[in-house]
Homo-oligomer: A and B are copies of this chain.
Amino acid sequence: MQDMSMRNVTARDYHHVILVLNEWWSGRAIADMLPKLFFEHFCDTGFVLERDGEILGFLVGFMSQSEPGEAYIHFVGVSPKCRKSGAGQRLYQAFFEVVRERGAHVVRCLTSPVNTVSIAYHQRMGFTIEPGDKRIDGIDVHTDYDGPGQDRVLFVRSIER
């Protein structure tokens, strides 16, 4: 991974990211969940990892504007050819650092209960799972969190030094 470089995300990255996401996630329709606004208005807290001009990973998130001291990660994607390379960890760490500088002491994010790989990954990254209104396979879940039928697992992590 030493040969990958990290920089802040820009609006011009959006179309590249959307195109590769459809490959990385085997054709699931992602664009509705990831409108361009996250690449237009939250560039200071978003990052891409690239090698030879090819985007191999990205993270978009922001400082909460109504919850003081909180930051939120909306979307993280890493190319299948870079999995288990530490690329994801580099992106999360960069986010933790920039939002800590801006006054955040807590980072939140979420995933779907079916995404057991993501759940395990966030736990390894130091996130804890928030209590839910039900448990699925031992995991706390919030029913209909993102709309009808859209259950979510909620993560929280302190980033205080």
A residues sitting closer than 8 Å to B (CB atoms) are 15, 18-19, 30-37, 40-45, 62-67, 70, 72, 74, 144-148, 150
Collect the chain B residues with CB atoms within 8 Å of residue A41's CB.
62, 64-67, 70, 72
Known contacts being A70-B41, A72-B41, is A146 close to B65, with CB within 8 Å? no
B contact residues around A64 at 8 Å (CB) = 40-41
Cross-chain contact B72 with A36 (CB below 8 angstroms): no
Complex contacts, A36 vs chain B, CB 8 Å: 145-147
Instruction: Check A150 against B42 for contact (C-beta < 8 Å).
Output: no
- Kindly state the separation between the CA atoms of A66 and B40 in the bound complex, as whole angstroms: 8
Given the complex, which residues of B lie within 8 Å of A43, measured CB to CB? Answer: 65-66
For this chain, the copies found in one complex come to: 2
Whether B40 lies near A67 (C-beta < 8 A) is yes
* A66 near B44: Cβ-Cβ < 8 Å: yes
A19–B148 touching, CB < 8 Å: yes
Residue of B nearest to A66 (CB): B43
Find A44's partner among B19, B45, B65, B74 (CB 8 Å cutoff).
B65
Instruction: Name 29 A/B residue pairs within 8 A (Cβ), A-sorted.
Output: A15-B144, A18-B148, A19-B148, A30-B147, A31-B146, A31-B147, A31-B150, A32-B32, A32-B33, A32-B147, A33-B35, A35-B146, A35-B147, A36-B145, A36-B146, A36-B147, A37-B72, A37-B74, A40-B66, A41-B64, A41-B65, A41-B66, A41-B72, A42-B65, A42-B66, A43-B65, A44-B66, A62-B65, A63-B65
